Amino acid sequence: MIRKAGKLVLFTLFLGSSLLGKAQDSNDNVVDKIIWIVGDEAILKSDIEKSRMLILSRGGRIEGDPYCFIPEQLAVQKLFLDQAKIDSITVPMSNVNRAVAQQEKNVIDNLGSKEKAEEYLNATMTQLKEEWREEIKNNFMVEEAQKNIVGKKGALTPSEVRKYYAQLPKDSLPYIPTTVELQIITNEPVVPQSEIDKVKERLRDFTERVNNGQSFSSLAIMYSEEPGAAQTGGELGFRGRAEWVPEFSNMAFSLTDPKKVSNIVETEYGFHIIQLIERRGDLLNARHILLQPKVPAESFQKATAKMDTIVDLIHKGEITFEDATPFSFDKDTRNNNGLMVNRKGTSSNYGTPRFQMEDLSKEMALVVDTMKVGQVSAPFKIRLEKNNKEVIAIVKLKNRVDRHIANVSDDYQILKEIVEQKKQQEILAKWLQDKIKDTYIYIDKDWRNCDFQYSGWIKDEEENN
């Protein structure tokens, strides 16, 4: 019986062979052996098991036989990596360090805590991050190699997009979800000085406790109000100076002694104390504790009253929504008539003014869902994703495009991206099949009985053995 290699997204490479380090070292029942050879690179039985555990640790799932899917994907990675070396591709280590920090967060979030992750993967987080670093760098090199392979061949002319659209059966055309364009004005309620003093006093107490020997990361887990701090102990991962807000960055990069705690620093997120972990050239890793002063209900009431006044003036025609946007507390939109830009990284509309309902916060989606184009909402409370602060907001629905079947006139850019992705996949698939044909490949006889995604892995001489 032929085993299925599994379902995957074409050329989406997971982190492979060396990533889990010692995760299986303690399994004395596994006898390691070479199961694939690709060019002059070997794939070990233990590599497969390590990769399988990594996928599980990140919450992944394979639809099919992992012992067919994983070795084939490791082999694919090695072929692209070989081309990356031929092309002399290099990768900025700052990008690698950021990806390592994100990988750490993903694993910890999925397994529940740093301690559980270390127990499951049978290595310290420091060891794991060092092991991840080289493999993540290889993945970046593979991505660049793929870009070089596709090159200008992956670009499309408008006529090619229209031709592709014309050839598509009408029942296979994609549905485009409802999208909206919004303008926003926000007002931050006034925080009493007494609440600020309470926060600073707590942070000074934390500093004293660290100086007396208590763990900074333990305090961050228990008390920091940064989302995710309970899982990371307040650790931020390696970042460049420009990746933090200036006040925080200036304080963090002034630190030289990992045993010391910074002075209190105020940012748009709240009040922090910082501890240096490690510096590597222009990159710095630190942990911090964030506290936000509590805003009393009466402050929210006053902010809401101010926004009610603005809405009333707009309804009376005495001012326009646009007239009021320069007074918004939202510095990202107030100089652009309040127009919001989609910053959700997973959204297909990232970087544009268009939002699907799932791109909006729950509070905003509930308000916008029933609004008509041109309508201004009543004031409502919303928690900002960028700094976790609660503010009072009003929004104007600038435009809405209801769910519809894709068409060239309204959805040209989306169709262009679909066609370009399809063409790029075809180019990479052809390159890969040619590379398989021209590369020495050996597969152990016990690992050949698979329905692989790509043909040509098993050479004629292997079939006779």
The CA distance from 249 to 258, in Å, is: 16
Three-state DSSP class for 122?
coil
At 266, the pLDDT band (50, 70, 90 cuts) reads very high
Say if 59 falls within a structural domain: yes
In the 8-state DSSP scheme, what is residue 378? P
Structural contact between residues 459 and 107, judged by C-beta atoms closer than 8 angstroms? no
At 441, the pLDDT band (50, 70, 90 cuts) reads very high
> Of the residues 291, 320, 336, which one is the last residue of a structural domain?
291
Query: Measured in whole angstroms, how far is the alpha carbon of residue 224 from the centre of its chain?
Result: 22
Residues 184 and 240 grouped into a single domain? no
- Nearest by Cα to 41 from 440, 460, 461: 440
Range of the domain at 211: 193-291
**Beta pairing, strands 355-356 & 3-4:** unpaired
Measured torsion, CA atoms of residues 419, 421, 426, 432, in degrees rounded to the nearest 10 = 170
Residues 396 and 450 grouped into a single domain? no
What does the pLDDT read at residue 45? Answer: 92
Say if 61 falls within a structural domain: yes
Three-state DSSP class for 156?
coil
Q: Give residue 113's identity as a one-letter amino acid code.
A: S
Q: Which of 17-21, 41-45, 236-240 has the highest mean pLDDT?
A: 41-45
Alpha carbon distances (Å) from 370 to 356, 367, 374, 400, 413:
14, 7, 12, 11, 27
| 118 has pLDDT over 90 | no
At 462, the pLDDT band (50, 70, 90 cuts) reads low
Residues 209 and 276 grouped into a single domain? yes
At 363, the pLDDT band (50, 70, 90 cuts) reads very high
What does the pLDDT read at residue 289? Answer: 96
Residues 303 and 349 grouped into a single domain? yes
The predicted model gives 209-234 an average pLDDT of: 89
At 336, the pLDDT band (50, 70, 90 cuts) reads very high
Query: Considering the entire predicted model, what is its pTM?
Result: 0.63
Say if 435 falls within a structural domain: yes
CATH of the domain at 95: 1.10.4030.10
At 92, the pLDDT band (50, 70, 90 cuts) reads confident
Say if 416 falls within a structural domain: no
Q: Which of 146-160, 169-183, 253-267, 410-424 has the highest mean pLDDT?
A: 253-267
Give the ranges where 112-228 is alpha helix by DSSP (H).
114-121, 125-150, 158-167, 193-211, 216-223
Q: How many helices (H) and strands (E) does the chain have?
A: 15, 15
Structural contact between residues 392 and 189, judged by C-beta atoms closer than 8 angstroms? yes
What does the pLDDT read at residue 4? Answer: 62
Structural domains of the chain, count = 3
> Of the residues 224, 256, 291, which one is the last residue of a structural domain?
291
CATH of the domain at 311: 3.10.50.40
> Of the residues 291, 318, 337, which one is the last residue of a structural domain?
291
Three-state DSSP class for 161?
helix
| 403 has pLDDT over 60 | yes
Model confidence pLDDT, tens digit, residues 297-332: 999 999 999 999 999 999 999 999 999 999 999 988
| 365 has pLDDT over 70 | yes
What does the pLDDT read at residue 72? Answer: 94
Model confidence pLDDT, tens digit, residues 150-198: 987 767 788 888 888 888 787 878 888 999 999 999 999 999 999 999 9
Say if 164 falls within a structural domain: no
Residue appearing with tokens 């006093």? 201
Residues 275 and 383 grouped into a single domain? no
The CA distance from 213 to 230, in Å, is: 20
- Token reading at 411: 């959805």
Say if 439 falls within a structural domain: yes
| 458 has pLDDT over 60 | yes
Higher pLDDT, 292 or 128: 292
- Token reading at 410: 């309204």
Residues 285 and 309 grouped into a single domain? no
Higher pLDDT, 228 or 133: 133
Q: Is 167 left (phi over 0), alpha (psi -120 to 50) or beta?
A: alpha
Residues 263 and 311 grouped into a single domain? no
Comparing 2-16, 106-120, 146-160, 179-193, the range with the smallest average pLDDT is 2-16
Say if 170 falls within a structural domain: no
Residues 388 and 372 grouped into a single domain? yes
| 135 has pLDDT over 90 | no
| 17 has pLDDT over 60 | no
Residues 287 and 312 grouped into a single domain? no
At 8, the pLDDT band (50, 70, 90 cuts) reads very low
Give the ranges where 168-296 is alpha helix by DSSP (H).
193-211, 216-223, 229-232, 246-254
Average pLDDT score over the chain: 87
Residues 183 and 316 grouped into a single domain? yes
Give the ranges where 267-349 is alpha helix by DSSP (H).
297-315, 321-324
Structural contact between residues 207 and 261, judged by C-beta atoms closer than 8 angstroms? yes
Give the ranges where 30-124 is alpha helix by DSSP (H).
45-57, 66-86, 93-111, 114-121
Q: What is the DSSP string of 187-205?
A: EPPPPPHHHHHHHHHHHHH
Residues 129 and 265 grouped into a single domain? no
Say if 174 falls within a structural domain: no
The CA distance from 298 to 377, in Å, is: 22
Residues 184 and 330 grouped into a single domain? yes
- Nearest by Cα to 375 from 183, 178, 177: 183
- Percentage of the chain modeled with pLDDT above 70: 92
At 106, the pLDDT band (50, 70, 90 cuts) reads confident
Q: Give residue 49's identity as a one-letter amino acid code.
A: E
Q: Give residue 339's identity as a one-letter amino acid code.
A: L
At 129, the pLDDT band (50, 70, 90 cuts) reads confident
What does the pLDDT read at residue 181? Answer: 97
What does the pLDDT read at residue 3? Answer: 64
Name 112's Cβ contacts closer than 8 Å, sequence gap at least 6.
231
| 20 has pLDDT over 50 | no
